[in-house]
Amino acid sequence: MMRFWLILPFLTIITAYAFFSRTDNPAQPALPSFTASRDVKVEVLNGCGVDGMARMVGNRLRAAGFDVMTLDNADRFDYPESIVIERLRRPNDADRVAEALGIGNRIQQIVPDPFRIESVTVIIGRDYRRIGLDKQVSIRTIRTSTLNL
């Protein structure tokens, strides 16, 4: 019984502290884990051959707050997977673009090009459906014309 009277003041203090220290502020909404920035200059290349894919991805990146500088075709249309390439030794830029698009493949250009403006290049491969780009594609045929932007 004596122990109870020794522990009671400590329990009272802890309970009072817990009651008076709580805040009435509601929880803040979760922010996206990436922060887009107009400072991140992006080049988007169509590497899958689907008409309009580079334009669609470019629009998605612009809506997310990135500065899309170039929309073009890749050197070929048989890239099996989409890739994010870090061009100017700015890994955070490439990480933010990759996260915004849901692309897991990210590589670093070993020798930076001093004349390059874009810090990140995105090559859209044939896995565009896996990364959620098929919902907006109206033409699902793969073409090899030169106007596949």
Residue with the larger pLDDT of the pair 149 and 9: 9
Domain assignment present for residue 77? The answer is yes
Domain assignment present for residue 142? The answer is no
Sheet holding 67-73, edge to edge: 67-73, 41-46, 120-124, 83-86, 106-108
- The CATH number of the domain where 131 resides is what? 3.30.70.2390
Task: State both tokens at 5.
Answer: 């009277």
pTM of the model: 0.66
Domain assignment present for residue 118? The answer is yes
> pLDDT digit string (tens) for 57-67?
999 999 999 99
